[in-house]
Structure 1
């Protein structure tokens, strides 16, 4: 069974042949859970500038190794694993510079290649990472989103003592928040949802701003004694938030942009040149899986309450509809694929199942 976006707006639950190991360095994985990402929704609506159709989507995956090829050395059947959802050429300028996440020939699972919304996957060992078996499925599935938060902090060169402004308390903003707090930064978070801001507070956010209720830029000036944040991470990814990020960031500061929208923003050169800002994009991740997995394995990442709702894979359309109709009630929605649970139940970690 698999979920395929046939064309924008059309999703089918299909049956497909069991995948088989074809190369000696591959592993067969039984997928257990997959996270629903905003980029999956964009592909469903035809709003992704990079996706191709038809496509089995999904890139936030946790599963169990069931078979290995003869040249696989680091994994064995029974290992709990997550997927680094990219393939790269290794020869282009980006790859030679250690930036394979922006490889000229980049292929992303769930975008350019079929992804994890399916019961079984065959993947090369180099993009399969083992996690501690003690991690619950609904925690381990969050490793990939946290690598995105870690990348955003790395691109922004977040350091202890910095003031970091995060626009958007969605999943990636919350991941970036936890990483910044571990680094020793003071964090300001803005979002239109008081519920999401309350959760950000529980994760350590120092200042909470709702743009619908306060003048965000004035509040930031007061919080930072007129300097502005040293690093601004735009996890809301709108034309307006990008413009605001450039305006509010301090002299010699860094602006991190995660959005993929093609809509242009109006930003004066003066705002960048006068303050000598560094404005950088942040896409996917660069070698962040080992570090993030260590954070998860040692309990430094608080992920047990991150996922709020689950749906069985065959109810994918209902899951999409729920996400769009209850934006303030969800943080992360998961699809159960290999995991089976009773209808209407609550699992041992207290996560309600929407069935």
Structure 2
């Protein structure tokens, strides 16, 4: 069968491998669709400290159950499913307090073990989610990025009437925008430095957009809020140098959600944090958010296919990687059709 394998940084190709067998407690999924994520690009570039090569990447995917391992109940051959990539031990401190997405022994499908950019993949039965009526396999392949959005918004604990400022209108910023609207947040400002991304943010319901280089964002926020500041700020740009500006723009009792893995230090002005009693929260992966996202998709309150800019065949995937490397402004979410 075919698989997209990264053998080393910048060394990747579609290759032939053996079909895996469904192990006890696992399910063999015939992959239909998979999305290319920025995290996949980091692996390809060698910027992910957790990955071990060679690796079949891909953590956003959906498909059909082809085989069921021993001891698996409630899952049948032919079921339409999507896969939560977060694998946790269930015993460590984070798992014991209900935070398995930061498990001490965390594994991520597509990072620590082979993922969805292959025609068939073995996954733990506990990570399998059935698709509700009305959610297609193409849309279901995008549940994972929306789970990221649901997780960071949950960590920020929105209150009714809160305004939200999103830094960055890439895929994660746009999923946060859509998820926030689905959860009832009405006043949402999005900032980016690429006009096409800001156009998309407005199409998807942003109340307003600001250009990070042409507009005075702090002045605009001050005018919008009569100097009070923004209660919710989501950092989907993941640029450490922006943190001081976020601290200044946050309202008293504001919450800032951080998503980036950039190891560069950020300047943190303690006075800004203390005088406003700000809350800075990290958000990694998702904490059991797949059911919530699937319910919102089934109800029509989320439209994941609005994010898709390219639908490509599996054989076209190397070209898609090249496009994302050299012309990222041309793409939003790239969806790869692997099977039918």
User: What TM-score, normalized to structure 1?
Assistant: 0.92
Match of 1:10 in 2: 11
Displacement of 1:157 in angstroms is 0.6
1:258–1:282 CA contact under 8 A, matched in 2 = yes
Q: Does 1:90 align with 2:93?
A: no
Distance between the aligned counterparts of 1:309 and 1:259, measured in 2? 25
SS at match of 1:13: strand
Which aligned pairs between 1:1-80 and structure 2 lie closer than 5 A?
1-23=2-24, 25-80=25-80
Asked if 1:276 is matched to 2:272, the reply is no
Aligned-residue RMSD, C-alpha: 1.4
- Paired with 1:221 and 1:54, the residues of 2 have a C-alpha distance of 49
Q: CA deviation at 1:193?
A: 1.7
Q: Which residue of 1 aligns with 2:111?
A: 111
Separation in 2, partners of 1:71, 1:54: 30
Task: Please identify runs of 4+ aligned residues in structure 1 that moved more than 4 A.
Answer: none
Task: State the match for 1:194 in structure 2.
Answer: 195
Alpha carbons 1:79, 1:133 under 8 Å: kept: no
Q: Would you say the 8 A contact 1:167–1:241 is kept in 2? A: no
- For the 8 Å contact 1:230–1:251, the answer to whether it is kept is yes
- For these two proteins, the number of residue pairs brought into alignment is 338
Q: What's the secondary structure of 1:279's corresponding residue?
A: strand
Q: 5+ residue gaps in structure 2?
A: none
The whole-number CA distance in structure 2 between the counterparts of 1:257 and 1:280 is 6
Q: Report if the CA contact (8 A) 1:158-1:180 is conserved.
A: no
- Structure 1: which 5+ runs fail to align? 340-355
- Determine if contact 2:243/2:267 at 8 Å carries over to the other structure: no
Cα 1:94–1:205 change in 2 (3 A) is same
State the alpha-carbon separation in 2 of the partners of residues 67 and 29 from structure 1. Answer: 7
Does the CA contact (< 8 Å) of 1:160 and 1:183 recur in 2?
no
Q: 1:154 aligned to 2:154?
A: yes
- Is this contact kept in 2: 1:36–1:60, CA < 8 A? yes
TM-score by length of 2: 0.96
